[in-house]
Amino acid sequence: MTINLIDRYVAEVGKHLARKGRVDIQKEIRSTLEDMLEDHAKKAGYEPDEAMIVNLLKEFGKPEDVAASYLPERQLIGPQLYPIFSLVMTIVLPILATVLLITMSIGSFNADLTPLEVLNTLGRILLQVVGSVVSAFGSIVITFAILERIPWSRAEFQKEKEEESKDWNPRDLPEVQDVEKFSIPGLVTEIALTLVALAILNFFPQIIGFGFLLNDKWTFLPVLSDAFFRYLPYINALWSLQITLNLFLLHRGRWETTTRWLRITLTALGISLAGVMLAGPVMVTSIGESLAAVGPDFSADAASVLTWMPRIGIKIALVLAIVTGGIDLLKSLFREITGKFRS
């Protein structure tokens, strides 16, 4: 438990440090904490317990304050304001980027666009999103740089921080999570399932549909319409890139800066494509008409249900893909920005 608290503390400090030199600083902090703990235990005359560790960590300081002390001396935003600046950045920028990406994608794409027009639109959207994010970044930096240079604001923040430090409890530190590692079986499963899905969509799309007995005869109705197949080249490209990335990850054995940004890009593209498909024409054929062709006695209500069910199902699946992709994108950007802005 006690060692676990130190692990959690060191991991938390690491979250607020620049990637460069992070491991080294964490190693040194751990070594110092262990030295201090030994010293405290000697003075107290008993083995370290949880209360002793908690006091030691409180004495050492809040993780974000400890990390902020490693900032370079000359800076636009000093250690007092930096943790708040960093928090604002990590919340505002990813949310702004995601919201802009989704809203602009939904408004700009439709199924009638040619591949070149899609690329043009995508490029224009990405440029606008990057421009807005850079502009927001600049505004936040300028605001904090001004705040940094106003004595009363620094004093206010300092007071607030001291209050927070008093209330800070090391027992509330989150559990250690190694975000650099991933599950190999999970990745292999993902590759296999994506390959299977690609094979079905490209070579056996007719097997996606409804099968039923009609007049003692097995009948099967495919559900995917022509509108869906207009998106197939983009789905193929996106999923092939995803498989390539996953294979590369398996080869490297861990996440790296390049692979992390590739994953962020693919997730953003995936969300955009899902947005386009959601806003585009219906991707499921009218089952009612097909049923009328194969069996005129088929109930109209059943035909209606069989028509809207897959349509709603696809819409729900796309919304879920956008929401889960958006959350994943936010988390990844949060991790990246947390690391980068401290360099």
Partner 1 sequence: MITIDSINTLVLLYNIQYNVVNGDIMTDDSFDNVILELRRGVIILAVLSQLYEEQYGYLLINGLKEAGLQIDQGTLYPLLRRLESQGLLQSNWRIESDRPRRYYVLSKEGNDLLPRLKEEWKGIVSMMNRMLK
What DSSP line would sit under 173-192, residue for residue?
PPPP--TT---HHHHHHHHH
User: Which residues between 136 and 175 bind partner 1 (CB under 8 A)?
Assistant: 149, 151-152
Identify which of residues 151 and 296 has a Cβ nearer to partner 1 in the complex.
Answer: 151
Piece of 68-76, 181-189, 233-241, 325-333 that binds partner 1 (CB under 8 A): 68-76
User: What are residue 149's phi and psi, to 5 degrees?
Assistant: -95, 10
User: Which residues between 74 and 93 bind partner 1 (CB under 8 A)?
Assistant: 74
Residue whose tokens read 């010293």? 39
Identify which of residues 66 and 329 has a Cβ nearer to partner 1 in the complex.
Answer: 66
Shortest separation between residue 19's beta carbon and partner 1, angstroms: 15
CA distances from 74 to 5, 20, 70 (A): 33, 18, 12
Write the CB contacts of 313 (distance below 8 Å, at least 6 apart in sequence).
none
Identify which of residues 13 and 125 has a Cβ nearer to partner 1 in the complex.
Answer: 13
Identify which of residues 63 and 275 has a Cβ nearer to partner 1 in the complex.
Answer: 63
**Which residue of 1, 45, 51, 69 would you call a contact of partner 1, by CB under 8 A?**
69
Pattern 15-54, binding to partner 1, x per CB under 8 A? ------x---x-xxx-xx-xxx--x---------------
CA nearest to 341, candidates 145, 89, 91: 89
Strands, E, within the chain: which ranges?
209-214, 217-222
Identify which of residues 65 and 101 has a Cβ nearer to partner 1 in the complex.
Answer: 65
CA distances from 269 to 118, 119, 208, 242, 256 (A): 12, 11, 25, 11, 20
Number of residues that bind partner 1 (CB under 8 A): 24
**Which residue of 1, 47, 73, 174 would you call a contact of partner 1, by CB under 8 A?**
73
Write the CB contacts of 215 (distance below 8 Å, at least 6 apart in sequence).
295
CA distance 155 to 151: 6
Identify which of residues 32 and 244 has a Cβ nearer to partner 1 in the complex.
Answer: 32
Residues at the interface with partner 1 (CB under 8 A): 21, 25, 27-29, 31-32, 34-36, 39, 60-61, 65-66, 69-74, 149, 151-152
